[in-house]
């Protein structure tokens, strides 16, 4: 059985309290579990106060899930950043459920080791598939994706949220009661078109 293990941990915690962060993170997890029900084998679940994990059944759904986690944080205006490891593992069809669980346990250990590794770096994303070239390509693309997402400040989130919900700068301009040139400049400064493009590039790279 092919599956992907997602492990995520906090990188940056804003000015809010630890208690509010835990509540916010649980809200994100709840939204994503409902949104990606068809992609999830084991729902995302808190394993520590600042860490969660889950198991998914396909690569595209897993990548879209990561995008949606990041956008959910922005949608709600939460002030924290996460690190993510997506680890591809395969459980062969085994007669013994115990052997299957043991194999899954090794996959979880491997994924956690990689999460420990990126905690020591500035990178927020690490994708490990069973294809080394594909993994390298995905990680290079996520390096660019991360640059766009992390360029947005919390004060930008209301505009980013509007552009995510409506790609038309004219309608966003109307929403904020600003002139069209201001709306166009806002879209350009936030690099929204580049953001849409890098998401498409990531998903098209696995086709």
Nearest CA among 5, 4, 206, 9 for reference residue 124: 9
Angle at 136 between CA 114 and CA 86, to 5 degrees: 40
- What are the helix (H) ranges across 41-151? 59-75, 97-119, 132-151
pLDDT of residue 25: 93
pLDDT of residue 107: 74
pLDDT of residue 1: 64
Per-residue pLDDT of the chain (207 residues; tens, 9 = 90+): 678 999 999 987 777 667 788 899 999 999 999 999 999 999 999 988 788 999 999 999 999 999 999 999 999 999 999 999 999 976 554 444 444 444 555 678 888 899 999 989 999 999 999 999 999 999 999 999 999 999 999 999 999 999 999 989 999 999 999 999 999 999 999 999 999 999 999 999 998
Q: Supply the pTM of this predicted model.
A: 0.91
38-42: list long-range contacts, CB under 8 Å, 24+ apart. 39/64, 39/65, 40/65, 41/3
Distance from C-alpha of 34 to C-alpha of 40, rounded to nearest angstrom: 10
Cα first-last separation, the chain: 20
Distance from C-alpha of 165 to C-alpha of 101, rounded to nearest angstrom: 41
């Amino acid at each position: 059985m092919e599956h992907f293990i997602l492990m995520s941990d906090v990188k940056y915690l804003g000015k809010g309290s630890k208690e509010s962060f835990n509540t916010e993170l649980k809200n994100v997890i709840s939204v994503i579990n409902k949104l990606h029900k068809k992609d999830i084998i084991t729902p995302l679940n808190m394993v520590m106060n600042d860490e969660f994990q889950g198991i998914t059944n396909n690569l595209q759904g897993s990548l879209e899930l990561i995008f949606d986690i990041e956008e959910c944080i922005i949608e709600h205006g939460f002030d924290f950043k996460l690190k993510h490891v997506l680890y591809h593992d395969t459980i062969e069809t085994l007669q013994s459920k115990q052997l299957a669980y043991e194999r899954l346990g090794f996959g979880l250990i491997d994924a956690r080791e990689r999460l420990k590794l990126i905690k020591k770096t500035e990178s927020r994303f690490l994708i490990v598939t069973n294809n080394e070239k594909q993994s390298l390509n995905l990680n290079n693309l996520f390096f660019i994706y991360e640059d766009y997402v992390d360029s947005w400040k919390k004060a930008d989130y209301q505009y980013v949220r509007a552009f995510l919900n409506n790609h038309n700068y004219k309608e966003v301009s109307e929403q904020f009661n600003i002139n069209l040139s201001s709306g166009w400049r806002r879209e350009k400064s936030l690099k929204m078109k580049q953001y849409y493009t890098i998401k498409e590039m990531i998903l098209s790279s696995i086709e």
